[in-house]
A = this chain, B = another copy of it.
Amino acid sequence: MSTAAALDAADPLAHLRARFAGAGSDLVYFDGNSLGRPVAAAADRLSEFVQHQWGERLIRGWDERWMELPTDLGDDLARICLGAAPGQTAIGDSTTVWIYKLMRAAVDHAVRTDPARTEIVIDTDNFPTDRYVAEGIAAERGLTLRWIEVDTSAGVTADQLREAVSERTALVVLCHVAYRSAWLADAPELTRIAHDAGALVLWDLCHSAGSVPIALDEWDADLAVGCTYKYLNGGPGSPAYGYVSARLQGDLTQPIQGWMGHADPFLMGPGYAPAPGIRRFISGTPPILGMVAMQSMLEVVEEAGIGAIRAKSVALTSYAVELADATLPGVTLASPRDPAQRGGHVTLHHERMREVTARLWERDVIPDYRDPGGLRIGLSPLSTSFDEVERGMAAVAEALR
């Protein structure tokens, strides 16, 4: 038996691969961390939703279930993936819009409480949309961005953050898992450092939720956002989520005050009054149809358990690193070598990786490319086999030759 076959035979989650559309095909999919495969049941679930829930219940669906779905499903996600108690998570909007709303809520609050807090601390390798939104908010609110310079193969350390925060810090914006390097931040420690300086922290969970255990409440987190189309397999552009700690909800208001965040949406009266709790962070009509597919995935994640998923994720990335070391001369690891410091993907560096990626795509091996010279191998734990890793890495070796 090959190593890969032995690893697959020993994998306690192997049986769940069959739940994913196309997971048995010849294609090697190394990009489930950009767009997860659909759970096969999602196709029927969407069709059933159109015919029965939407088609038969029609507008009554809002009274019966949909009004509460953003927070009910938010609570499910919080329980299964985020380590958060109910009432703190809502689904809707894009990650970018959530970042805007929660960043604004945080900095407006900070400046109102202490006008000297005029800095947003963010790292240079934070995901682009986080950086762009921060830049826009800094410009419109007259704040300053304080950049933590990080290497593209690493992430923000405790020492770096301690150096960056001060009595001028309004907000710290960090990624739990870095999109290029897969650096897994020490979230409890970094949160503590920000709090010791009197600042709030916004965690971007896009590249961790569904593959790495998260404990927002235990971390004493303030704010978090994330998407649902990567390890949560909600489909292209499926709605994102926002988390606001219960202890902060009453103090924060967000700028896009729409009817669905109103204390009484169907009163339709004059004057906006924010809903109590997490609902005040909702703005427009929630994207119900867009929430259907992710429900199928959350069921599979709950069945597997996030602990077992993380164990498989570590095994998958470790196997990929082992194969890279053994079979890819001249290639360097642009991710942490210690699996405890690494999320669900592995980035391999070589100056020719852009062209290697193009060649691999032609051969139905689908990794992602990230500048500079990074071949990003995303290994969505529930839908990826060790055999797939072996076949994919062999194709990388061949493409490099």
The residue that A47 contacts in the complex, of B29, B46, B56, B136, with Cβ under 8 A, is B46
A366 contacts which chain B residues (CB < 8 A)?
Answer: 58-60
Minimum Cβ distance to chain B for residue A90 (Å): 13
CB pair B287–A290 under 8 Å, yes or no, is: yes
**How far, in angstroms, from A292 to B323 measured CA to CA in the complex?**
41
CB pair B31–A59 under 8 Å, yes or no, is: yes
Chain B residue with Cβ nearest A51: B43
A29 contacts which chain B residues (CB < 8 A)?
Answer: 58
Cβ of A66 within 8 Å of any chain B Cβ, yes or no, is: yes
Output the residue of A62, A99, A258, A259 with the most chain B CB within 10 A. A258
Given contacts A21-B51, A38-B55, A46-B46, contact A285 B128 (CB under 8 A): no
**How far, in angstroms, from A60 to B361 measured CA to CA in the complex?**
9
Chain B residue with Cβ nearest A371: B268
Cβ of A311 within 8 Å of any chain B Cβ, yes or no, is: no
Cβ of A257 within 8 Å of any chain B Cβ, yes or no, is: yes
A257 contacts which chain B residues (CB < 8 A)?
Answer: 132-133, 135-136
Of A1-9, A113-121, A166-174, A230-238, which stretch is located at the interface?
A230-238
Cβ of A309 within 8 Å of any chain B Cβ, yes or no, is: no
**How far, in angstroms, from A42 to B235 measured CA to CA in the complex?**
17
Given contacts A270-B124, A284-B240, A285-B94, contact A35 B47 (CB under 8 A): no
**How far, in angstroms, from A99 to B96 measured CA to CA in the complex?**
16
Chain B residue with Cβ nearest A36: B58
CB pair B54–A34 under 8 Å, yes or no, is: no
Contact flags (1/0) for A29-51 with B, using CB distance below 8 Å? 10100110110101110110011
CB pair B44–A258 under 8 Å, yes or no, is: no
The residue that A255 contacts in the complex, of B22, B136, B271, B288, with Cβ under 8 A, is B136
Cβ of A75 within 8 Å of any chain B Cβ, yes or no, is: no
CB pair B100–A288 under 8 Å, yes or no, is: no
Minimum Cβ distance to chain B for residue A350 (Å): 19
Contact flags (1/0) for A256-300 with B, using CB distance below 8 Å? 111110100101111110000000000111111110010000000
CB pair B287–A237 under 8 Å, yes or no, is: yes
Contact flags (1/0) for A204-244 with B, using CB distance below 8 Å? 00000000000000000000000101000011111110000
A97 contacts which chain B residues (CB < 8 A)?
Answer: 93, 97, 256, 258, 283-284
Output the residue of A47, A96, A256, A265 with the most chain B CB within 10 A. A256
**How far, in angstroms, from A140 to B257 measured CA to CA in the complex?**
11
Cβ of A317 within 8 Å of any chain B Cβ, yes or no, is: no
The residue that A285 contacts in the complex, of B61, B237, B361, with Cβ under 8 A, is B237
CB pair A37–B59 under 8 Å, yes or no, is: no
A interface residue numbers (CB < 8 A to B): 21-22, 25, 27, 29, 31, 34-35, 37-38, 40, 42-44, 46-47, 50-51, 54-56, 58-62, 66, 92-97, 99-100, 124, 127-129, 131-133, 135-136, 140, 227, 229, 234-240, 255-260, 262, 265, 267-272, 283-290, 293, 361, 366, 368, 370-371
List 7 extra interface pairs beyond A97-B284, A135-B271, A237-B290, CB under 8 A. A38-B50, A62-B236, A93-B93, A97-B283, A128-B265, A132-B257, A133-B258
Could you name 12 residue pairs across A and B whose Cβ atoms are closer than 8 Å?
A22-B56, A38-B55, A43-B46, A60-B361, A94-B258, A96-B258, A100-B255, A129-B284, A135-B272, A227-B285, A234-B289, A267-B371
